[in-house]
Amino acid sequence: MPANDTLRVHVPLTVRKRGGRPRILPPRDIEASDPPPGQHPPVLRAISRAWAWRQRMERGEVTTIADLAAEEGLSDRYVSRLLRLAWLAPNVLERLVVRREPCVIRLFELCFVACLPWDEQLVRVFD
């Protein structure tokens, strides 16, 4: 192929990591619509871990939080705090996991909201 027939295309995009995943950003002078807000991956991961741990405890694979923490290589305090997410209200879980609505509180605070009555949880998580 002759050199004068070469076509070179330059697309000025930037690749940045967000939440451990690469994201392509457009140039600053171009307005890009933001993607619809979604659930933060660590929240989904924490809920799934809590449910898996709860099921293991209910099946009798582990008997105490200390045993579970030792198997996972985590602290007892962290496991007991995260395990509370397995008792979130069903409507809160549906909005977080199925609809992927973002919550207005951090994951740390969400763990403590799980101890509240179910009708209060919805207000605290999304309002």
Per-domain residue ranges for the chain?
41-126
Q: CB–CB of 50/85 below 8 Å?
A: yes
Q: What is the pLDDT of residues 34-45, one digit of tens each?
A: 555 566 788 989
Phi and psi at 64, nearest 5°, equal: -130, 165
Rg (CA), the chain: 22
Q: What is the pLDDT of residues 12-52, one digit of tens each?
A: 667 777 667 777 666 667 665 555 556 678 898 999 999 99
Please provide the DSSP assignment of 59-98 as one string.
HTS--SHHHHHHHHT--HHHHHHHHGGGG--HHHHIIIII
- Under DSSP, the state recorded for 14 is E
